[in-house]
Structure 1
Amino acid sequence: MGTAFAVLAPVLIMNLVGIPHAAADVPGLGAGFEFGVAQAGFQSEGYNQDSNYLRYSNEGKLPERVGNSVDFYHQHSGDIQRAEQLGVKIYRLSVEWSRVEPRPGVWDPAGWAFYDTVIKEIVDAGMTPMITLNHWVHPGWEVDRGGWNRPAMADDMITFGDRVVDRYQWAKPIWITFNEPTEYVRRELMYGGLQPQNALRMVDGIIKAHKAIWAHVHAVQPGGQVSSNIAFMPIPGLQPSLEALFPDRMANTLDFIGVDQYYSVSIGDTSVLANGASGEYWKSSQSPESMYYVLRYLAAKYPGKPIRIVENGLVTDPNGHRDDGYDRADHLRDTIYWIQRAKQDGVDVMSYNYWSLTDNYEWGDYAPHYGLYHVDALHDPTLTRYPTDAVAAYRDITAHHGVPVNYRPTRQPVPCSLVTNLDSCTHPAIVK
């Protein structure tokens, strides 16, 4: 998934938001709402080129080596067809910097040809590419130069980003410059790619690169949309501190607010804290109304900005099970219900991406499964894609622009959710 939970010290910040919350009926999301799927190059492609993350994998800093993952590199056509058959209109992917620029200033025609083919197939299937330029991965030669410890790293990222934009602006993509930049910084610190004294240098470099690429997109792709998605951490009061690092400083160059939301926490259930530390996310309970609170919070924090849900999904264990019995289809329908509620209550939410189309390498191992399609990357040499129960559910959702008006979630909201702040205690989400 895009967000691996980090256990950080909570900072309690209570600020109430004032968007109304209760409504009797839940209409569909409307024909203009866009459903999508999401993935990332390093996690799914296989045959990765030298990069910071390939080194972390091969050096034993991660539990399992990435290997060739689910081999999207060769199986992309089938996966794009599966997405098309879901009825989605957005296909999120990333362009791996190391694949197209394996050495400084050397651009690989074969690397470009791969993405040329993939993006054309996405467009031909009637979907809009959502292209991520940096999903936490940068080339090994940048590591050798010092990575984000070096101020000029931002300039190299701008050169790469502008080249990608120039090559694919014809496809009218939605652009994500940096995936979850707070997590990118944290992980570089954790794995030793960034010296602690240079953390703010990396923050400043990411913001510099984002703003420059945003300007370039708007110069060459009129009407283009650019953002950098937020990793929403379910730790009471923490999120405003994280937002101060990136989205608050980028706000005038965010054409929409992109958010990744997965987990929940409440006064009565803090299981995500312990399971986030162990990596066994499937043991954490789920409260899908958390999405409602997150959307409500962001609409109040960034008024006038439309919102795109860049990642959301449900994690299971390697066998596709969860201790709480929550299945993928029910969780998906329940989440869409709460998105519809938020939209009905005035939140300008434009799209929703499911993470992920297939199971893949979850930034360290293959144990967590998030895929609409199950793939056993460790034991099945054919890497066959098997549909989960959520495939049929998603097809029904996209066909009807949401869940029916009379749909009710399979689980009641938990009291006093702390995903955003204490406003859920005073203004709770109510199923009607």
Structure 2
Amino acid sequence: MSTDALTFPADFTFGVATSSYQVEGGIENDWAEWERAGKLKEPDVRCGRAVDHWHRYEEDYGLATDVGATAFRISLEWARIEPERGRYDAVALEAYRERLLKMKARGLRPVVTLHHFTHPAWFHRETPWHQPASVDAFRQYARRCAELLEGLDALVISFNEPMVLLLGGYLQGAIPPGIADGALTMRAMENLVRAHVASREELLARLGRVELGISQNTLAFAPDRWWHPLDRALVRLGAQAYNHAFHEALVTGKLRVNMPGVASTRVDIPGARDSVEFIGVNYYTRAHLRFVPRPPFIEFKYRDILGRGLTDIGWEDWPEGFLQSLREVKRYGLPVWITENGIDDRAGERRPHYLHTHLAQVLAARRLGVDVRGYLYWSLLDNFEWLEGWGPRFGLYHVDFDTLERRPTPACDYFRAVATSRRLVAPATQAPLASQPSAAR
């Protein structure tokens, strides 16, 4: 392979990603209520102070620049900004503005997510996503967010992983708001698209121009039984609904979802066509799908077919699917940003190899004409991992959850070497196989 094939262009961005609830601490929102209701995998677990990024953000910006990052993804916490419907907290708005300005001054381009799963406590009671009032509620919030972004040249993400929010919160009832209703899922999905359009209008009105997209969790899908026609059909339907429905709606203006026996919709959304400037991809793993003869007719598995060892959270290490996902989004003809990619590696030994194999797929995608502009590693820090609580560790920096001390993992050296040289260097050692928590989750 030529030297050029191992080199990232000079304008390629290496960065890191976080989200407010998972790192800031001291947030009262729908997830805090969910925890108090005992609905995590360990009922007594609380996010609480998280890793106190709210007070240690300047230290954490320094950690990001120390590994060669030039972009830093955060989310704005709606519950801080609008703790009561219609009342906006001036102190919180000023604090976020200060953080963004200091980020920019440190040479870190802000990548700002408006909605990363969480909501103010009032939202699901007063303006839930399956009701039209949700769109105006998000519009008013986005208007305040637009004020924070003036002069920053931020990359903006309206929604992080909307399909995860919908499947978990509206179809399975596993996360807030805890609904399990296919028809309401589709209404909520339509309103999320409309809310994206509304946020775009507010951002353009204030900023004049904006680079706006969504971050879509993208899975590589495979049939659990390669020979079974219904497993193969599920792969086609699942990939279209899960990976592409939102992106297609924001490029074509047409929202089309077909999940037979579960939920479907066909609707044109005014203003949605060409409402994104980039495609955001979050990639972690591959899932094997099996048809089962009972609702929701699908069984979801992670398998270690090649013997690489499942990651510590139980996901398949499948970098090949990263290239597959990037090639599939080439169809939209837009720049691509990898807004999340990472591994739960609790010993800290596999992450350099994971980075190497996945960054190799980014270069392969670029050689095939996919316009990948940047790579944001998830995450800068170990943090609170939603239903999983404090077990998983995705951070470049290990965090002692008692003392909150940040310590570099071996991946910091590897990330820095690639980000500063712009070359795909080999990791110092091969990764050991992980323990096998289970073959399916």
* Fold match by TM threshold 0.5: yes
Contact 2:397 2:408 in 1 (8 A): yes
Q: 2:286 aligns with which of 236, 260, 264?
A: 264
Contact 1:271 1:285 in 2 (8 A): no
Give how far 1:397 is off. Answer: 0.8
Instruction: Find the counterpart in structure 1 of residue 110 from structure 2.
Output: 129
What TM-score results when the alignment is normalised by the length of structure 2? 0.78
Contact 1:333 1:409 in 2 (8 A): no
Where 1:263 maps in the other structure, the secondary structure is: strand
Tell whether 2:313 aligns with 1:282: yes
Instruction: Find the counterpart in structure 1 of residue 406 from structure 2.
Output: 385
Instruction: Find the counterpart in structure 2 of residue 72 from structure 1.
Output: 53
Tell whether 2:249 aligns with 1:249: yes
Q: 2:381 aligns with which of 349, 358, 361?
A: 358
State the one-letter code of the partner of 1:216. E
Residues 340-370 of structure 1, C-alpha deviations (whole Å, 9 max, x = no match)? 1211222110000000000000012011110
CA distance in 2, matches of 1:33, 1:24: 17
After superposition, the Cα gap between the structure-2 partners of 1:147 and 1:45, relative to the gap in structure 1 and judged at 3 Å, is same
Instruction: Find the counterpart in structure 1 of residue 63 from structure 2.
Output: 82
After superposition, the Cα gap between the structure-2 partners of 1:271 and 1:388, relative to the gap in structure 1 and judged at 3 Å, is farther
Q: 1:29 aligns with which of 8, 18, 38?
A: 8
CA distance in 1, matches of 2:119, 2:287: 33
Contact 1:46 1:70 in 2 (8 A): yes
Q: Specify which structure has the higher proportion of strand.
A: 2
Instruction: Find the counterpart in structure 2 of residue 4 from structure 1.
Output: none
Instruction: Find the counterpart in structure 1 of residue 212 from structure 2.
Output: 226
Contact 2:25 2:49 in 1 (8 A): yes
Q: 2:392 aligns with which of 341, 345, 368?
A: 368
CA distance in 1, matches of 2:394, 2:176: 28
State the one-letter code of the partner of 1:59. A
CA distance in 1, matches of 2:335, 2:130: 34
Give how far 1:223 is off. Answer: 4.2
After superposition, the Cα gap between the structure-2 partners of 1:244 and 1:91, relative to the gap in structure 1 and judged at 3 Å, is closer
Where 1:37 maps in the other structure, the secondary structure is: strand
Instruction: Find the counterpart in structure 1 of residue 33 from structure 2.
Output: 55
Give how far 1:222 is off. Answer: 4.1
CA distance in 2, matches of 1:93, 1:232: 20
CA distance in 2, matches of 1:192, 1:180: 14
Matches within 5 A, 1:285-296: 285-296=316-327
Instruction: Find the counterpart in structure 2 of residue 235 from structure 1.
Output: 221
After superposition, the Cα gap between the structure-2 partners of 1:149 and 1:341, relative to the gap in structure 1 and judged at 3 Å, is closer
CA distance in 2, matches of 1:254, 1:398: 27
CA distance in 1, matches of 2:311, 2:427: 31
Where 2:219 maps in the other structure, the secondary structure is: coil
After superposition, the Cα gap between the structure-2 partners of 1:177 and 1:373, relative to the gap in structure 1 and judged at 3 Å, is same
Tell me whether 282-291 or 227-236 shows the greater mean CA deviation. 282-291
CA distance in 2, matches of 1:192, 1:331: 32
Instruction: Find the counterpart in structure 1 of residue 359 from structure 2.
Output: 336
Equivalences, count:
371
Contact 2:353 2:427 in 1 (8 A): no
Residues 25-73 of structure 1, C-alpha deviations (whole Å, 9 max, x = no match)? 6231111101110000011100002x21111111111132212110111
Residues 145-191 of structure 1, C-alpha deviations (whole Å, 9 max, x = no match)? 15223320111011101210122222121100010101111222214
**Higher RCO, 1 vs 2 (CA within 8 Å, ≥6 residues apart):** 1
Instruction: Find the counterpart in structure 2 of residue 401 from structure 1.
Output: 422
Tell whether 2:126 aligns with 1:105: no
CA distance in 1, matches of 2:362, 2:311: 26
After superposition, the Cα gap between the structure-2 partners of 1:373 and 1:181, relative to the gap in structure 1 and judged at 3 Å, is same
Instruction: Find the counterpart in structure 2 of residue 152 from structure 1.
Output: 133
Q: 2:335 aligns with which of 298, 306, 311?
A: 306
Where 1:229 maps in the other structure, the secondary structure is: strand
State the one-letter code of the partner of 2:23. S
Residues 344-403 of structure 1, C-alpha deviations (whole Å, 9 max, x = no match)? 2221100000000000000120111100001132xx2x2000100011111111111131
After superposition, the Cα gap between the structure-2 partners of 1:192 and 1:399, relative to the gap in structure 1 and judged at 3 Å, is closer
Contact 2:31 2:176 in 1 (8 A): no
CA distance in 1, matches of 2:4, 2:242: 35
CA distance in 2, matches of 1:172, 1:352: 17
Residues 128-154 of structure 1, C-alpha deviations (whole Å, 9 max, x = no match)? 111100001110011221522332011
After superposition, the Cα gap between the structure-2 partners of 1:117 and 1:360, relative to the gap in structure 1 and judged at 3 Å, is same
What TM-score results when the alignment is normalised by the length of structure 1? 0.80
Contact 1:38 1:91 in 2 (8 A): yes
Percent identity between matched residues is 27
**Structure 1 residue ranges without an equivalent (≥5):** 1-21, 412-432
CA distance in 2, matches of 1:221, 1:346: 31
Where 2:10 maps in the other structure, the secondary structure is: coil
CA distance in 1, matches of 2:16, 2:107: 13
Instruction: Find the counterpart in structure 2 of residue 428 from structure 1.
Output: none
Where 1:397 maps in the other structure, the secondary structure is: helix
CA RMSD, 1 decimal: 2.5
CA distance in 1, matches of 2:11, 2:208: 20
CA distance in 2, matches of 1:327, 1:195: 37
After superposition, the Cα gap between the structure-2 partners of 1:99 and 1:271, relative to the gap in structure 1 and judged at 3 Å, is same
CA distance in 1, matches of 2:351, 2:76: 28
